[in-house]
């Protein structure tokens, strides 16, 4: 087994992200026997609170406390991490917009291997870690071999590793702040601009009629609206529909949009990327309609229908109206 | 402003069903339709808009064999001024780090203020932009969904973060940004536009031209195989005629509270 394993902990408002426990589980899949060190950056009392809470699960928690780290600017965090981590460190990060910002550059500065968006680890053979990941929006999976001998930075897909429920670590917090070094960078964080509120709050609806790329044309959005109206539902959508500006951003379900908790979710012409599925919580009854029988959405749906939604939606709307 | 946009030729997932080939060594490549990585079109569009506003030029670069030249021409038909093809047998099998190392040498051959990549591509890693920035020691921001040029030395960028929120940063030039879809609406490229640039010469640089050793592009990460995962039960697929499927679905929706 190669170097020491570190998990970078994302936190907000004094609370560690769900990925904190998932990374611990991911580390155990690399080597069940190895102690994992949590690394937490931030400032002041909020940071201390997060560090103390993590000692229940992590045997060691490295903290870097600096006013410059009050907001998680990946460029600054990278500098601090490069200064405190050993050269052969195996560093785990969440694969999200923060991990995308930090991970690739960190791997270069640590001169380590990099694998993004791991969904599983299948053990180490010699110095090579076998990583499972997906390509083509989840249509195929691959095994990737990652050379750990000079260290590695690995980003893990949120929700893919069953969190470890360990609260008996009785770990200690180690203050690494003095070792963080020079933290001046050429990217300055200014502010977070909150998402605009739309005219409809899709998070409040029990039934969502959600459309994706399969709707093909802006004019066809009407079909979904008609169906939703007949069902007493609300129209939501996946990312490409917002990118095309056919529906407003507030209608988007997914990690970069809204998190919804409906009772019934009708996914129409949505392939089912994990970013989209990440916005659906509360285990709703999912119906997927897609003309591609191999669409990943069918793996997570309760009921699937292989049809072209442009033919299917009007007929369904008609029948729903009749059934009333 | 001198802008370089790094683009990639990928199988078009809207036009193809991606399947694993018989021995799992690759995806089935027979009859695949290729196109420019979707994110890269947004990056090129953004570069063109910046150039049209503040002046300068847009160069598109890609790593690949002679077939990949077509994506450079497509982006030049969109409005990019120049194309560069980085091609060498030694580049085959390069991992993200290797691709970034190759692109770094191309960046250093020019005098760029801004380098753009797509935020993601077909493999979903989102790695080359951040690696390139770190190799160049330039600042970086990922998943960028707005760019405002402040002056010759700095720009303001918005990044997409979770929950539909945006993180605003000020970044010094030169820098590298990875561009998210939705930042703009990429212009349509017709067959006539492609014809116009069909005879434009596109320089090709190999490892020797770029001063790259085999070690610099050597992979530490390699794909062992492709496979189709065995998952849970998956969806119950409704069979029958359209009418039968709809009747069954309405029954299910009623039972689950999906009809009001």
Distance CA A260, CA A282 (A): 8
Distance CA B128, CA B84 (A): 17
Condensed to tens digits (0 to 9), the pLDDT of residues A88-125 reads 999 999 999 999 999 999 999 999 999 999 999 999 99
Distance CA B69, CA B77 (A): 13
Q: Characterize the bridge pairing of strands A152-156 and A90-94.
A: parallel
Distance CA B201, CA B198 (A): 8
Residue B15: pLDDT over 90: no
b/e burial code for range A62-88 (CB count within 10 A of at least 16 → b):
bbbbbebbbebbbbbbbbbbbebbeeb
Chain A hits for B161, Cβ within 8 Å: 97-98, 192
Distance CA A119, CA A133 (A): 5
For residue A93, the surrounding DSSP H or E stretch is strand A90-94
3-state secondary structure of B58: strand
Mean pLDDT of all residues in chain B? 94
Q: Scanning the structure block, which residue is given the tokens 């009747």?
A: B247
Regarding the domain delimited by A5-179, which CATH topology (the fold level of the hierarchy) does it fall under?
Answer: Rossmann fold (3.40.50)
| Beta pairing partners, A36 | A5
Distance CA A104, CA B134 (A): 8
Q: Which of residues A167 and A207 earns the better pLDDT score?
A: A207
**Which part of chain A is CATH 3.40.50.620?**
5-179
Residue A158: pLDDT over 70: yes
Residue A234: pLDDT over 80: yes
3-state secondary structure of A185: coil
CB proximity list for B152: less than 8 A, separation 6 or greater: B113, B173
Least CB-CB distance to A294: which of B17, B231, B237?
A: B17
CB proximity list for B104: less than 8 A, separation 6 or greater: B132, B135, B136
Do B181 and A240 count as a contact with CB atoms less than 8 A apart?
yes
Residue B229: pLDDT over 80: no
Distance CA B85, CA A296 (A): 34
Query: Mean of the pLDDT values across residues A9-27?
Result: 96
CB B234 within 8 Å of CB A293: no
**Residue A101: predicted pLDDT:** 98
- A19: number of CA atoms within 13 Å, CB side? 22
**Residue B203: predicted pLDDT:** 97
DSSP A23-78: HHHHHHHH-TTS-EEEEEEE-HHHHHHHHHHHTTT-SEEEEEE-GGGSS--HHHHH
**Residue A2: predicted pLDDT:** 62
Contact with chain A for residue B22, Cβ under 8 A: no
Do A140 and B159 count as a contact with CB atoms less than 8 A apart?
no
Rounded CA Rg of chain B: 22
**Which part of chain A is CATH 3.40.50.1220?**
202-323
Query: Looking at CA atoms only, how far is residue B209 from chain A in angstroms?
Result: 23
Residue B214 buriedness (CB in 10 A; 0-12 / 13-18 / 19+): exposed
**Residue A195: predicted pLDDT:** 85
Query: Mean of the pLDDT values across residues B123-128?
Result: 95
Handedness of CA A132, A135, A138, A139 (dihedral sign): negative
CB A142 within 8 Å of CB B223: yes
Regarding the domain delimited by A202-323, which CATH topology (the fold level of the hierarchy) does it fall under?
Answer: Rossmann fold (3.40.50)
Chain B hits for A182, Cβ within 8 Å: none
Instruction: Return the number of other C-beta atoms located less than 10 Å from residue B236's C-beta.
Output: 13
Query: Mean of the pLDDT values across residues A24-32?
Result: 93
Contact with chain A for residue B113, Cβ under 8 A: no
Chain B hits for A316, Cβ within 8 Å: 246, 249-250
Q: Characterize the bridge pairing of strands A264-268 and B2-6.
A: unpaired
Residue A54: pLDDT over 90: yes
Condensed to tens digits (0 to 9), the pLDDT of residues A301-315 reads 999 999 999 999 999
DSSP tag of B41: H
Size of interface A-B (CB pairs under 8 A): 269
Residue A46 buriedness (CB in 10 A; 0-12 / 13-18 / 19+): middle
Residue B233: pLDDT over 80: no
CB A251 within 8 Å of CB A230: no
| Beta pairing partners, B84 | B61
Instruction: Return the number of other C-beta atoms located less than 10 Å from residue A197's C-beta.
Output: 10
Query: Mean of the pLDDT values across residues B7-24?
Result: 90
CB proximity list for B177: less than 8 A, separation 6 or greater: B114, B115, B116, B117, B129, B140, B141, B142, B144, B147, B157, B171
Q: Characterize the bridge pairing of strands B9-11 and B34-36.
A: antiparallel
**Residue B230: predicted pLDDT:** 67
* Per-residue pLDDT band at A199 (split at 50, 70, 90): confident
**Residue A33: predicted pLDDT:** 85
Nearest CA to B223 among A139, A141, A119, A110? A141
> What sections of A61-219 are H helices per DSSP?
74-84, 97-109
SS (H, E, C) A239-301: HHHHHCCCCCHHHEECCCCECECCCEEEEECCCCCHHHHCCECCCCEEEEECCCCCCCHHHHC
Instruction: Tell whether ipTM is more than 0.90.
Output: yes
Using a pLDDT cut of 90, give the percent of chain A over it.
Answer: 88
Query: Looking at CA atoms only, how far is residue A172 from chain B in angstroms?
Result: 31
3-state secondary structure of B108: helix
**Residue B232: predicted pLDDT:** 62
Condensed to tens digits (0 to 9), the pLDDT of residues B163-188 reads 889 999 999 999 999 999 999 999 99
* Per-residue pLDDT band at B32 (split at 50, 70, 90): very high
Q: How far is CA A295 from the centre of its chain?
A: 20
Q: What is the pTM of this model?
A: 0.94
Q: Scanning the structure block, which residue is given the tokens 């492609």?
A: B194
| Beta pairing partners, A304 | A288, B237
Q: Chain B window 154-193: which residues touch A at a Cβ cutoff of 8 Å?
A: 156, 158-172, 175, 178, 181-182, 185
Strands (E), B25-131: 34-36, 57-63, 82-86, 114-118
Query: Mean of the pLDDT values across residues B232-259?
Result: 91
* Per-residue pLDDT band at B67 (split at 50, 70, 90): very high
Mean pLDDT of all residues in chain A? 95
Residue A1: pLDDT over 60: no
**Residue A324: predicted pLDDT:** 76
Do A187 and B169 count as a contact with CB atoms less than 8 A apart?
yes
């Amino acid at each position: 087994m190669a170097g020491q394993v570190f998990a970078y902990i994302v936190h907000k408002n004094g609370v560690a992200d769900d990925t904190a426990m998932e990374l611990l589980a991911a580390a155990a899949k690399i080597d069940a026997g190895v102690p994992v060190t949590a690394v937490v950056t931030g400032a002041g009392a909020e940071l201390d609170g997060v560090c103390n809470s993590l000692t229940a699960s992590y045997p060691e928690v490295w903290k870097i406390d600096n006013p410059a780290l009050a907001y998680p600017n990946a460029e600054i965090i990278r500098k601090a991490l490069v200064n405190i981590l050993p050269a052969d460190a195996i560093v785990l990060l969440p694969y999200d917009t923060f991990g995308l910002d930090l991970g690739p550059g960190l791997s270069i500065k640590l001169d380590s291997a990099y694998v993004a968006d791991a969904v599983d680890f299948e053990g180490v053979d010699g110095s090579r870690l076998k990583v499972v990941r997906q390509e083509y929006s989840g249509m195929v999976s691959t095994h990737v071999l990652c050379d750990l001998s000079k260290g590695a930075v690995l980003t893990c897909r949120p929700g893919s590793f069953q969190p470890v429920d360990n609260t008996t670590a009785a770990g200690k917090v180690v203050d690494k702040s003095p070792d963080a070094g020079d933290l001046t960078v050429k990217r300055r964080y200014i502010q977070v601009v909150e998402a605009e509120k739309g005219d409809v709050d899709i998070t409040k609806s029990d039934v969502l009629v959600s459309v994706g790329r399969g709707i093909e044309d802006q004019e066809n959005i009407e079909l979904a609206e008609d169906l939703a109206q007949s069902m007493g539902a609300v129209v939501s959508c996946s990312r490409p529909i917002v990118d095309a500006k056919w529906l407003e951003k507030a209608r988007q379900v997914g990690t970069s949009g809204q998190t919804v908790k409906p009772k019934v979710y009708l996914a129409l012409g949505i392939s089912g990327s994990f970013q989209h599925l990440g916005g659906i919580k509360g285990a709703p009854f999912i119906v997927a309609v897609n003309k591609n029988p191999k669409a990943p959405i069918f793996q997570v749906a309760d009921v699937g229908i292989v049809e072209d939604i442009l033919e299917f939606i009007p007929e369904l709307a008609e029948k729903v109206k009749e059934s009333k | 402003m001198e802008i370089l946009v790094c683009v990639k030729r990928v199988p078009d997932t809207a036009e193809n069903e991606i399947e694993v080939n018989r021995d799992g060594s690759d995806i089935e490549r027979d009859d695949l339709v290729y196109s420019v990585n979707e994110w890269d079109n947004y990056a090129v569009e953004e570069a063109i808009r910046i150039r049209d506003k503040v002046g300068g030029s847009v160069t598109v670069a890609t790593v690949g064999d002679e077939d990949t030249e077509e994506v450079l021409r497509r982006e030049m038909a969109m409005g990019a001024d120049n194309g560069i093809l980085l091609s060498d047998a030694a580049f085959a099998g390069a991992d993200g780090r290797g691709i970034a190392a190759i692109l770094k040498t191309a960046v250093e051959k020019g005098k760029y203020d801004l380098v753009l990549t797509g935020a993601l591509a077909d493999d979903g890693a989102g790695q080359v932009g951040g690696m390139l920035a770190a190799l160049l020691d330039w600042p970086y921001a990922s998943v960028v969904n707005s760019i405002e040029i402040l002056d010759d030395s700095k720009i303001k960028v918005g990044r997409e973060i979770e929950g539909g929120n945006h993180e605003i940063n000020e970044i010094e030039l030169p820098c590298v940004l990875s561009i998210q879809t939705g930042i703009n609406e990429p212009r349509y490229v017709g067959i006539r536009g492609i014809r116009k640039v069909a005879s434009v010469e596109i320089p090709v640089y190999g490892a020797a031209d770029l001063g790259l050793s085999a070690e610099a592009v050597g992979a530490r990460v390699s794909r062992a195989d492709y496979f189709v995962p065995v998952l849970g039960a998956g969806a119950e697929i409704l069979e029958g005629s359209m009418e039968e499927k709809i009747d069954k679905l309405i029954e299910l929706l009623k039972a689950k509270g999906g009809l009001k």
